[in-house]
Structure 1
Amino acid sequence: MKTMLCRTWKIFFPGLSFLLFLACAGFLAGCALKDPKALASPPAMPSSWSAEIHAQGMVPDENWWRTFDSSGLEDLLKEALAASPDMAMAVERVVQAETQLRIAGASLFPSLNINGGSSWRRNWASGGKTGSTESSTLSLGASYEVDVWGKVAADVRAADALFSAAAYDEEAVRLSLMAGVATGYFQVLALEKRLDIARDNLAIANRVLDFVNSRYRHGSATELDVKRQQSAVLSQEATCLSLEEQYAQQLSALAILVGRAPQDFQVRTEAFQDLRIPEVGAYLPSDLLLRRPDIARAEAQITASEANVTVARAAFFPSIQLSGSGGLSSTALLSLSGPQSSLGLSAAIAQTLLDGGRRRNQVEAAESRLREQVETYRKVILTALKEVEDGLSRAGFSARQMALQEDVVEKASRSLFLAELRYREGADDLLTLLEAQRSLFQAEDQAVQLRLGRLNAALDLYKVLGGGWQKEAEGG
């Protein structure tokens, strides 16, 4: 009886030992490392903005660009989002991050492989008989690393956070691209308007020159008057050429943003004065945490760094590998007739004893990167607060400047009319008329630039407020 018990123990001892090993591994898994909590809460946010907010302003929504009432802008934005290299690169970065997440997640599952082969061998013995051997094998093996300390799970969390960061970065690129296209388009329209003003003023200068030449022929004007007006005409022609050069450069820059070659690139333009200037309101400062993709990206980078610290710390603990295999073998060539069966299970544990401080330094480096990401997150928030504050101030100032400039243009136009009339009657000299011409051109040109500035101020506010984008709730 005692002998039978001993034999039974010898048969089942390997299996019981293996089960005991698994039980211990499961117990140790409960001791897995946890990610460090680097940021319990975001930095303190102000309760309100210092700059005056337009009471009638609307906060950005997902179709914010339509508030400008520009069909030409909408067509360009559709083309840019479909063909811009910047947008395509951002999309590919998301694809790469998603692929890395799947690669990291694959480590959570066992690997399975199959091997098969057949061989023939013939031996010639010196002075003896010759012989040959044949064999065929087919085996199936599986291996699995027990994630006792949570290293693999932390790798997956880091990859998932980086995937989220890439998605937020894509949204940031999208918003930046759309704002860039809108800015470029507005500048093209403004340059067209400035060119029209410059050409109108050139026509006025030529008309005055004709009148000065007529007076000179009749002896009521001097050669100095003629030369001064000719100089004014040439100066206005040079201004037109300069604006034409700026227009061509701005058009080529817009082509690159849209994803097209600058050669022969044209846009369907509209009257600059027909663009609507929207009044933009702002969220509460705390809402920026959910409304700006760059802030969400910085937060995701912190999550990834936290998980990387866990991965670095887990390197101090042993790794446990489980393996199993089963197979068939026979002494026939290309056949498994009459096979012999085999089954094997194994468990291995590995621990690095000395590495010259490599793991310790890796942990310190990971912790330093985590602290760096926390400071980056804080800086991104502070920068966002500044950008919104500046945007609100700029919108208010540009509106008041534009209103004042409209009065300046009206008075400058009246002054030129009176100066030309008085010069014809001989009551004023040519210098007074030239000054009135210059003042009107500068006033009209400045009015266009101030209107462009007001459009850009509204556009910048849309951009710094996140353009209507909103971060989804966790788990949503």
Structure 2
Amino acid sequence: MKIFRIGCLFIPITIFYLSCTVPKAVQSTSIKPAPATFANQTDSTNSALIQWHQFFNDTCLVALIDTALKNNVDIGIALQNIEIAKSNVLIRKSALLPNINIGGGAGVEKVGRYTSQGAGDASTEITPGKEVPDNLTDFNFSLQTSWELDVWGKLHTAKKAALAQYLATVEGKNFVVTNLVAEVANTYYELLGLDNQLAIIKEAIQLQKNELEVLKVQKEAAVVTELAVKQFEAQVYNAESQAFEVQQNITVAENKLNFLLGRYPQSITRATANFMNQIPTLVNEGVPAQLLNNRPDIRQAALELKATQFELQVAKLEFYPSVNITAALGLQAFKPRYLTKLPASVLYNFGTDVAAPIINRNALKAAFSTANAVQIQAMYEYQKQILNGFVEVKNELSNINNLQQQFEFKTKEVNTLTQSITIASELFKYAKANYLEVLTVQRDAMAAKMELIAVKKEQLKAVTNLYKALGGGWQ
């Protein structure tokens, strides 16, 4: 009885001591608040809430994105990450429940006669009139259970950590979808731009060949020299070389698009003819605070931060004593027919264990320190994603505005140079301009048209990138 009283006094003292020696968590840096607006606007309308099949109005592009979402391998990988995280939640949840096993066994035992057990068996009758045999068989069938009581909430906290990580993987999949939608759209626009550049080159080649035939006639008439003919021929060869370069780029873009769609190389259906007439979609950026709800990568970082906070709490609770209950109930006899002799064959046991770490506390401290560092790292990662989202939106807003100005001036340049080609050709016919002027204006006009197509392509891609930066595309 005295020992029992000492034990009752020792246990709470030990718990109090251990709880007082738990290491303190290092406080992480607080998150910097985002600015109220991206610019001077007050409109909170956000285009990220528009679903992707409504945002893009090109039916060919919509069909390609739909195929990519069904077949893309990265999405398949992301879905399996979700399944892994879901299984981890079930594992953590099952730890809250008792572990119950059912089992049975059979065996034989022979102990030495000159031992305490052997001497006792020799003087004992296993049944009336029959001594305990030297080879004693044993048959048993029982239910066993063990259960760690969640006294401090450690197991519940671990389950919360697993659930937060599961939700983070769902957001990770959404981020993959956002990137995929944007990448398919941008590659599609790249392909359309290359198609139109190839058409411009072929048109220029035909024009240059016509001019070359005129020069050859004029050379026969001694109006121009062989030098003029050779320079025009060289320009034709240069344009034909550019055509093959662009054709190769088209092949690469098609293959990249097919890869995103999860299929082997094949022809891509696309609306090339309407490329230059496409008007970039008007995107409303809303306010920076909406990024926290719209962008999957920010939501994922927030959930991962939450998970690390729970894991840090679990690491702290590892320092507290654990309470385990064990029990068993079953039947046991030296012969199978005696298993039904109740209650003589009944076996049972029940016990409670309280264990607190003492020797291995350094390992627990190291695990706690690691969890603390991971939690601080997750805080910085969350802050990084918020900053990155704000910067991406600001960059694309500026890009869209500057590209619009660039497109307007580049259009004027193309119109002027196109008129100059006609003027130069007419002047050349009447010997009012030399062949070098014609050559130069044709070369400049083709280069300007190529650049205009590139600007149009970048305009469409900038709109897509802004839509992605705002968190659109995964809905």
In the superposition, the TM-score normalised over structure 2's length comes to 0.86
Cα shift at 1:61: 2.9
Matched with 2:79 is 91
Matched with 1:474 is none
Q: CA separation in 1, counterparts of 2:383 and 2:351?
A: 50
Cα shift at 1:449: 0.5
Q: Does 1:461 align with 2:466?
A: yes
Structure 2 vs 1, CA of residues 356 and 117 (structure 1 numbering), >3 Å: closer, same or farther? Answer: closer
Matched with 2:283 is 280
Counterparts of 1:337-376 in structure 2, within 5 Å, are: 337-339=340-342, 340-355=345-360, 357-376=362-381
Cα shift at 1:73: 0.7
Counterparts of 1:63-212 in structure 2, within 5 Å, are: 63-119=51-107, 133-212=136-215
Q: Does 1:316 align with 2:319?
A: yes
Q: CA separation in 1, counterparts of 2:300 and 2:380?
A: 13
Matched with 1:4 is none
Cα shift at 1:194: 0.5
Q: Does 1:425 align with 2:414?
A: no
Q: Does 1:49 align with 2:38?
A: yes
CA contact (8 A) 2:46 2:286 kept: no
Q: CA separation in 1, counterparts of 2:45 and 2:363?
A: 57
Q: CA separation in 2, counterparts of 1:310 and 1:60?
A: 36
RMSD of the TM alignment (CA)?
Answer: 3.2
Structure 2 vs 1, CA of residues 68 and 409 (structure 1 numbering), >3 Å: closer, same or farther? Answer: farther
Matched with 2:391 is 386
Matched with 1:333 is 336
3-state DSSP of counterpart to 1:44: coil
Q: Does 1:268 align with 2:256?
A: no
Cα shift at 1:58: 6.4
Cα shift at 1:149: 2.2
In the superposition, the TM-score normalised over structure 1's length comes to 0.86
Q: CA separation in 1, counterparts of 2:59 and 2:146?
A: 61
CA contact (8 A) 1:399 1:454 kept: yes
Matched with 1:220 is 223
Pairs aligned (count): 443
Q: CA separation in 2, counterparts of 1:439 and 1:290?
A: 48
Matched with 1:241 is 244
CA contact (8 A) 2:29 2:379 kept: no
> 1:452 is matched with which residue: 444, 450, 457?
457
Cα shift at 1:441: 0.4
- Post-superposition Cα deviations, 1:73-111, rounded to whole Å, max 9, x if no partner, equal 111111111111111111111111111111111101111
Structure 1 letter corresponding to 2:434: D
Cα shift at 1:276: 4.0
- Post-superposition Cα deviations, 1:167-192, rounded to whole Å, max 9, x if no partner, equal 11100001001111111111111101
Structure 2 vs 1, CA of residues 312 and 273 (structure 1 numbering), >3 Å: closer, same or farther? Answer: same
- Work out the percentage of aligned pairs sharing the same amino acid: 24
Q: CA separation in 1, counterparts of 2:99 and 2:372?
A: 32
- Post-superposition Cα deviations, 1:187-222, rounded to whole Å, max 9, x if no partner, equal 111101100000000101101001100111111111
Cα shift at 1:67: 3.2
Q: CA separation in 1, counterparts of 2:85 and 2:137?
A: 50
Q: CA separation in 2, counterparts of 1:106 and 1:59?
A: 43
Q: CA separation in 2, counterparts of 1:238 and 1:180?
A: 29
Q: CA separation in 2, counterparts of 1:353 and 1:430?
A: 95
Structure 2 vs 1, CA of residues 418 and 384 (structure 1 numbering), >3 Å: closer, same or farther? Answer: same
Structure 2 letter corresponding to 1:93: N
Structure 2 letter corresponding to 1:304: A
Q: CA separation in 2, counterparts of 1:297 and 1:43?
A: 18
CA contact (8 A) 1:36 1:310 kept: no
3-state DSSP of counterpart to 2:48: coil
Structure 2 letter corresponding to 1:291: N
CA contact (8 A) 1:62 1:469 kept: no
CA contact (8 A) 1:37 1:306 kept: no
Cα shift at 1:352: 2.2
Q: CA separation in 1, counterparts of 2:108 and 2:381?
A: 66
Q: CA separation in 2, counterparts of 1:228 and 1:54?
A: 59
Structure 2 letter corresponding to 1:267: I
Q: CA separation in 2, counterparts of 1:55 and 1:236?
A: 49
Matched with 2:411 is 406
Q: CA separation in 1, counterparts of 2:336 and 2:357?
A: 44
